[in-house]
Structure formats: structure tokens, C-alpha cells
Structure 1
Amino acid sequence: MPNIIITGGPGSGKSTLIEALQTRGFLCKQEVSRQLIREQVALATGCVPWQDLDCFANLALNKMITDYNSAGIKDEIVFFDRGIPDVIAYLKAGGLQVEQRFYDAAKIFPYSKEVFITPPWKEIYVNDDERWQTFEEACILHDTLIAAYENLGYNIKFIPCTSVTKRVEYIFKTIKELRKIKA
């Protein structure tokens, strides 16, 4: 179970959770969308999710594949802030056709079958320069993420809406239990 995804709708606390895991010494891959949005806005390309989701999805997929490959194949746990199936969910939530290459990539670059999802959490939700969705849109995306991951054969583990410390403890406890089951 080395490559573990933490996903969820925008503003649900997953990036904060990834940062907490990183401070505890885990290798973590940051969300590619925020970086790509900043780059594309600076370049004024129009290849941002709110203008050209299809273009942006292709950029995100390529960057996620690069990040996946840079994690290497090892027994060490690597946490990913979103995974390739997220791109499929974003396209579906945007009402766009999902090209076969996205499904192929999801199969070629598999993650741990257990995926951690942070649910929508209105009390912590805020918009910023890269988070343009409304809370209601974030909830729709949350549901679309669940469907995309389940359709690809992943098992969903819902992270409770609680302190970052308790969220980290939940992840560790769940991973420990899953390793016992698989041993």
C-alpha cells in the first residue's frame, strides 16, 4: 500500500492534512492543480479549469503521471494530494467527455486500493485564488469523486471532520488495520 491518495472536494482540509503528514516525515506529493493554476494564470494561457477544463485536465494528468513516477516503487508510504482518478471526476462534474487516455492512465498508474476522502466541511471552507468553486459545487464534486473512485475499484475511507491531529491518527490507525488484514 505504498501510494496512498487523500482526496476530497475543494476546501475540505486535505492539503492541510498532507502538510501534517509531511511534517511527520512522510513523503507527500502536493496537489498539482494549485501549482498549475498559478502557472497558467501567470502565463495568461486560458488553460485554467474555469475557462478550459479539458485543456487543464490534460495538463493535470501529465503532471500527476510525472509525480507518480517520481515516487518510485518502494515499500515506503507516499501520500498523494489527489490522484489520477480525480481528473476523471473533475471532467465528469464539468459535464465533459472523459477521453480513454484518462481511464488508461488510471489503470497503468494504480494507487493503494484504499482511498482516503475528506468530506465537505462548511465550517472550514474558504475561496481563494485557486479555489473558485462554491461550497455547493465542492459538495457535487465530492459525490463525483466517490463515484469515480468506486467505479475504478477503489475502497473509500471517509476521514472524519475533526482536528488535523485526529485526522492523522485516523489515517495511521486505518493503515495499520489494513496491513494486518493483508498480512
Structure 2
Amino acid sequence: MARQRDERIDQAVLAAVTTLLREVGYPGLTMEAIAQRAGTTKPAVRRRWKSQKHVVVAALAEERAGVVEVDTGCTCCDLFGHLEALRLGMADLADDPELRETFLAVVWEPRREACVESLKKGEARGEIRPGLDVVLIDLFAAPVVFRVLFGHRKLDQEFVRDVIGGVLSGVGTADGGRLCAHIGP
């Protein structure tokens, strides 16, 4: 008879991932660190999730980690926060269709909703021309997703800033280009 899975380990691992993502970010995350923080072993984590990517998506789904209701008072700064999180999250999903589908359902849609709220606030502050459809969000996200899928060019923070500046110069108010000066290097 197989041993029953300890749900406390599942929860400890998911909590460890969430905490570590906030502390070290996705690039600094390792299975060793996850296991250590959760008080378990790497094999115990691997028995539960196929890969590190899978446990990260599970943690994101559980806690909505990384989906932040951004409201800095600057539409460009808010969008930078959303797109930067998207850039980091998408970069590791391009080679796993099943995981990508899970990511879209449990991470993408909540993040998209949060970003749409940022756009609505930008419109209310007069930073984005009124009357634009919320499909505008796709103008911001599509270049990031495109570079993830094809890997043909660098996908870094400078690119995210360029996307925001380019889109806001077309849909923003007269000072829309100035807004991106608030985003640091």
C-alpha cells in the first residue's frame, strides 16, 4: 500500500516558493532553496511536481504571487511593473505547452485583470486618452510574448521600457512620453 501524501509538505513547498520569489526573484530560485525553506528534501518536491517551473506555476496559482495591484500614480510605472513580471514569468514557459496552458489560466488572466485596472486608472488620471478599449492591454503584452516565443531578440528591462514608451506615445495624452522617465534603469 502506498504511503499517503502529506499535504503539509505541499503547502510548505508552495509557501516557500512564494516567499523565495519575493526575496530572490525567479532567476535566483532553485529546487535546493525551495526544499530547504520548506523543511523537506528535493526528492520530496520532485515527487509532487514535474519540474521547478511546475512548482512555480502551482505556487503562483495558489497565492496569486506576483500579481500585484500596482498603483504608483504613474501609468507608465504601473505598466512597467506588470510587463516586467510578465517578462520574467513567460521566459521559462515557451518550451512546455501543457505548463503554458496552466500558466495562462491561473497566472495570466489574473495579471491581465490587474493590468487592465492600471490602464483604467491611467485613463481616470488623464494619462491615457479616454475611450480606448481594454484590448489595449494586448498592445503592451504582445511584444513580450512574441519575443518569448521566437527568442529572436533580447528580452530585458530596456525592451519593456521601449514597449511602454512606444505604446503610450500613440495612446497616451500629450505628456505620455514624459511618463516613462519615471522608470529607472
TM-score, normalisation: structure 1: 0.38
> Larger Rg: 1 or 2?
2
Bigger RCO (CA 8 Å, 6+ sep): 1
More helix by share: 2
